[in-house]
Amino acid sequence: MIFCPYCANQLTLVEGASGNKFGCATCPYEYPLNKRYMERTYLKRKQIDDVMGGADSWKNVDSTAVDCPKECGSDRAFYMQIQIRSADEPSTTFYKCTNMHCNYQWREN
């Protein structure tokens, strides 16, 4: 995007008999195009944070007696409660099976 140096409005492409040019919609400023004009800007992607806390999210959590839905035979699971909805809604409980071969994760509202 190119902006007008006088009024700071965005210049628009104006096609005419004398050639193409960028023109300002609010003042008489014109920027003639004598050759092909191309400008490219690559934006850096924002790094996304893991909502659940990443690999360290299951450190120092308690375990409780609950059967694993995957039927791996484990009767215990690590759990944590997080408020993911509005304050007047109940917390969501996240579980992770204690069986090292299973490690199934599920949640209950």
- Binding-site annotation: residue ranges for Zn(2+): 4, 7, 24, 27, 68, 72, 97, 102
Residue 72 CA: distances (Å) to CA of 69, 90, 98, 106: 8, 29, 10, 14
10-32 burial code (b ≥16 CB/10 A, e <16): ebeebeeeeeebbbbeeeeeeee
- Positions at the binding site: 4, 7, 24, 27, 68, 72, 97, 102
